[in-house]
Amino acid sequence: MEAVAPDAFGVQRYGFHGLSYEYIASVLPQVAPEIAAGRVIVAHLGSGASLCALKNGKSIDSTLGFTALDGLCMGTRPGAVDPGVILYMFQTLGLSASEIETILYRKSGLLGISGISSDMRVLLESKEPSAGLAVDYFVYRVAREIGALTATLGGLDGLVFTAGIGENSAEIRSRIGAASAWLGIEIDQVANAGRGQQRISKAGGRVPVWVIPTNEELMIARHTGAQLALVEARVQETRA
């Protein structure tokens, strides 16, 4: 049988959280000019989670793919999973496509591992071993992918945390930093305990680490404004 290229089916690796990464890239020259033109990994960590590798402000790689199921463990999504697992669900467990879709999008990730909650705050407060396992796995996956994207970039000049967990959980940032210490990441625990836009790495550390709140709504507004301006220009041309 003749092989068919994946893009013949409309299958491409799109990546997601683009608005968030676009915003972070746009403010880096003002907020953290020392890393803006370098090799930066942005960690968008929330109910949906992903990492993006930036080089000179341009996206080089992302942990997400054709859908938002790939990459990191998330609130209710598993992240990267062996395709054979999906076949097993079909062939051995006899699950329908709809049932598998529900499992992958709504019953996996932190919720599926812990059996308690998809909310990182709840899991961090829980004493249940399954909650601890879910948190450990989340940190492990993030640290592993930071290492992989560092290889893609050929080094690391900066790390940025953003989104719900990335902006608000000092403990998760600290644990990811500790797991990534081999890259030269050293978290200043005093700075890390603060809130808002700030550098949280130790002074003199090899890899600057920042917390920068994202603003996807602003990017939506900017793109909408640009499209409206384009439409208005075309209308004016038609009337001329």
pLDDT in tens, 29-78: 999 999 999 999 999 999 999 999 999 999 999 999 888 899 999 999 99
Residue 8 — very low, low, confident or very high, per pLDDT cuts 50/70/90?
Answer: low
Amino acid at 190: V
Cα–Cα dist 113/107, whole Å? 9
Q: What is the pLDDT of residue 197?
A: 74
Instruction: For residue 169, give both structure tokens.
Output: 């959980």
Q: Each residue of 143-190: pLDDT tens digit?
A: 999 999 999 999 999 999 999 999 999 999 999 999 999 999 999 999
| Residue 10 pLDDT > 70 | yes
Cα 227 to Cα 193: distance, rounded to the nearest angstrom: 41
Alpha carbon of 24 to those of 14, 45, 122: distances in Å? 19, 13, 28
Q: How far apart are CA 203 and CA 236, in angstroms?
A: 55
Say how many CA atoms lie within 13 Å of 227 toward its Cβ: 6
pLDDT of residue 145: 98
Whole-number mean pLDDT of the chain? 93
237 vs 80, higher pLDDT: 80
Give me the amino acid identity at 133. L
Q: Strand 58-62: give its sheet, edge to edge.
A: 58-62, 49-55, 39-45, 158-162, 209-211, 198-199
Question: Residue 9: in which H helix or E strand, if any?
Answer: none
Structure tokens at 97: 């496509």
What's the whole-model pTM score? Answer: 0.89
Amino acid 14: pLDDT: 77
Overall average pLDDT of the 92-97 stretch:
96
